[in-house]
């Protein structure tokens, strides 16, 4: 891939809004907590992070792995309806000590499809490697993202 084509890159996400549509990006610094939101016509993606603690480390051995060309990520996903979701929670492993957690909600199944087509997870900004969110299509076996307890060694 020669490079990413994005309407915006926010954190680890490349968002491509189709012509004729709009999206709002809100980055809110609340002191020790930062809340980020991307809102389009029929979907909203939100995540937050604390400046006081690192996100929990994911148990990589219990995550799904997906690739798009040479770009690969490991992830956990849980949706309200596996076939036609309108709400999904995600945890994505970006490296052994780097993970992100976010929620995606849509006004309906079509809105969720629009979001999954519009959002890519950036794996390597320099090369343009990214995985479309639509490829993260399997719900995890666990109800919550599998994280390591403090003191656990990574698998």
Low-confidence ranges of the chain (pLDDT < 70): 1-3, 19-20, 31-33, 49-55, 150-155
* Rounded to 5°, angle at Cα 87 from 83 and 90: 95
For residue 148, the SS3 value is: coil
Q: What is the DSSP letter of 30?
A: -
Round to whole Å and give the CA distance between 81 and 15: 24
pLDDT of residue 138: 93
Using CA atoms of 107, 109, 113, 116 in order, give the dihedral in degrees to the nearest 10: 70
- Residue 148 neighbours by CB under 8 Å, 6+ apart: 56, 57, 58, 59, 154
- Residue 1 neighbours by CB under 8 Å, 6+ apart: 69, 127, 128, 129, 130
pLDDT of residue 116: 92
pLDDT of residue 150: 62
pTM exceeding the 0.75 threshold for the entire prediction: yes
pLDDT of residue 104: 96
Looking from the CA of 82 toward its CB, the CA atoms found within 13 Å total: 7
Please name which of 136, 151, 32 lies closest in space to residue 89, comparing C-alpha atoms: 136
CB atoms within 10 A of CB 5: 10
């Amino acid at each position: 891939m020669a490079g990413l084509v994005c309407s915006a890159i926010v954190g680890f996400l490349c968002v491509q809004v189709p012509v004729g549509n709009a999206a709002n990006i809100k980055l809110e610094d609340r002191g020790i907590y930062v809340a980020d939101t991307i809102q389009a016509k029929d979907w909203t993606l939100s995540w937050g992070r604390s400046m006081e603690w690192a996100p929990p480390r994911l148990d990589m051995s219990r995550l799904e792995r997906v690739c798009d060309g040479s770009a690969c990520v490991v992830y956990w996903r849980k949706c309200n309806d596996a076939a036609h979701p309108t709400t999904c929670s995600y945890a994505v492993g970006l490296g052994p000590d780097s993970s992100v957690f976010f929620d995606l909600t849509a006004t309906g199944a079509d809105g969720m499809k629009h979001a999954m087509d519009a959002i890519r997870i950036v794996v390597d900004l320099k090369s343009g490697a990214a995985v479309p969110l639509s490829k993260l299509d399997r719900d995890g076996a666990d109800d919550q993202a599998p994280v390591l307890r403090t003191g656990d060694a990574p698998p």
